[in-house]
Amino acid sequence: MPVLKPSAAFREELAGYLLRKGLVTRGILDAAMAEQRVTGESLGAILVRNGFLARADLDEAKISHETALETPEAMGGTPIPLPLLERHAIIVTGLSDDAVHVATLHDESVAGRVAARYYPGRTVRFSSFVPDQFDEFLDRVRRAQSGLEDSDPVEQLVSRAVEAGASDIHILPRRKTCSIFLRVDGIRRLMDETAAATAATIVARIKDRSGMDLAERRLPQEGRFEIEHRGRPVDLRVTTVPSVDGEIIVMRILDVERVQPNLDRLGISQVGDWRRAVDRRHGLCLVCGPTGSGKSTTLTATVREMDRLGRAIYSIEDPVEYRMAYTGQVNVNPAVKLDFARVVRTFMRADPDVIVLGEVRDEETAQIAVRAADTGHMVLTTLHTGSVNGAIDRLRHLGVPAHDIKSLLRGVLVQSLVRTICRACHGAGCAACGNAGYAGRTAVSECAVFDEPAAVVAAAKGARNWRSLYEDAVAKFHAGVTTAAELRRVFGSEAKGVEQRMPAPRPKK
């Protein structure tokens, strides 16, 4: 049987592998090791928590480097029931986008069937079984699974939502009952119907944990709290909405380890053009689209690729969703008159290289953002527009002078989200996708990069030499990524007859 190596040797082997594969830089590793000396956490956990490494990449690195490391590290949680793990001597050692990695002391065919049942849609791959890990793994699973059974209704509700891959939980009171919905892949689905009295207890606990006024039911409130799910923190952003039947509760799920946005995995077709735009020394770059189109995720993924150690990066958001190590993140706070414009003015006196604004909402914010770009900073922000040309028009309506737009605008990325066909059933419907035929979402986008003012002027006049948002969506339909029905849901009448026609992309000049 393989022998466990000392933790220091394990760390050095893993660090060397990550460097050789280009997953992290030496500067990032040095910073993580410095933090490790203070916190005592594992190197991989620090890299994932700080957003320098995706959990799937870490698991893949451990498994791919198993020969050198001699032992894959067991995971902290699994949906496989404890009795099955004990009976068949199974350890779950890793999870990637398309595979679950397990080790077993018994029959691999049996262990494979168990793993496939609880990880539908993923290939089962086998690692070396390390007896010394088995008892510790079972103890962690026992604590996690017994903790879920003994937890309060709020934690049970959130855990079910996280397991389903939901982005939001909606608690909707009715006259005699209460409906609980999950938003999965952008679609709201009814999860449960419960008695009004039970729902009232759940709502009271949510408000209490969120720091809200329990007695106030007439006015909207906002708050947030955190739970631990399978050994990792899950942040909940909570909003209450007064209604005639009681308070509506909406909880946004911010699962940091599950959502480690990576530009290459978002589905942005012209991602190279976007990278070229944001790589400029200074200027203004915009991410555009309607609410719920993934703008914040793209913005976060963009910042995560930047050199957060060598560049001073500051962001102002309403509110901060995903925390990023080595960046200065500020929440909008109207109670003390801390708004976007005021914070950006403060940022400009704090020696920044990059300034990130969650959104340009008014003329004052637009003008201060342009001023920051004009004084040698790269400014990234979002706008609610549906096209590149519309983004330029929106800047004009916000009072930005035409000469500033043409001299400072570096790039505009417009995006929306469409559901992708389930890889397990190819759209037929199965347990893995909840019989929806879809699993996950991808971005459809249009991206324009402006290397000179004349290109901005041409775009402002309606010229276009990039593939439009809809053309990109149709291309993904023909590539088998999504369906015609999904395009009709997202684009409406514009997508009528999409099966018969495909707009030809306009060539780049």
Residue 444: C-alpha distances to residues 315, 414, 507 (Å) = 26, 8, 18
CB 5 within 8 A of CB 69: yes
Q: Choose which CATH entry (3.30.450.90, 3.90.1010.10, 1.10.150.120, 3.30.160.270) describes domain 153-255.
A: 3.30.450.90
Rounded CA gap, 52 and 303, in Å? 11
Query: CA distances (Å), 417 to each of 107, 129, 192, 262, 370, in order?
Result: 43, 41, 26, 15, 28
Q: Where are the domains of the chain?
A: 8-147, 153-255, 263-418+441-470
Q: What is the pLDDT of residues 283-309, one digit of tens each?
A: 999 999 998 899 988 999 999 999 999
How far is the C-alpha of 509 from the C-alpha of 507, rounded, in Å? 6
The pLDDT, as a whole number, for residue 316 is 92
Per residue in 4-63, pLDDT (tens digit) is: 333 455 567 778 888 888 888 899 999 998 988 888 777 887 888 888 887 777 777 766
Given this model, what pLDDT does residue 5 score?
37
Long-range contacts of 75-81, Cβ-Cβ distance < 8 Å, separation of 24 or more: 75/137, 76/140, 76/144, 76/230, 76/231, 76/232, 77/140, 77/141, 77/144, 77/229, 77/230, 77/231, 78/118, 78/141, 78/230, 79/118, 79/119, 79/163, 80/114, 80/115, 80/118, 81/145
Q: Residue ranges of the chain with pLDDT lower than 70?
A: 1-11, 62-77, 96-97, 144-151, 230-231, 256-260, 499-509
Contacts of 235 (CB under 8 A, 6+ apart): 224, 225, 226, 253, 254, 255, 256
The pair of structure tokens assigned to 328 is: 């200065």
Return the CATH fold of 263-418+441-470: Rossmann fold (3.40.50)
Q: Smallest Cα–Cα separation from 27: which of 47, 55, 10?
A: 47
Could you tell me the pTM of the whole model? Answer: 0.77
Q: Write down the mean pLDDT value for the chain.
A: 86
> What is the length of the chain?
509
Q: What is the pLDDT of residues 190-210, one digit of tens each?
A: 999 999 888 999 999 999 999
| Per-residue pLDDT at 504 | 44
Q: What is the pLDDT of residue 506?
A: 46
Find out whether 26 and 19 touch, Cβ atoms under 8 Å. Answer: yes
H helices present in 170-329, as ranges: 196-209, 271-278, 295-304
Helices 469-478 & 484-491, crossing angle to 10 degrees?
160
C-alpha span between 52 and 35 (Å, rounded): 13
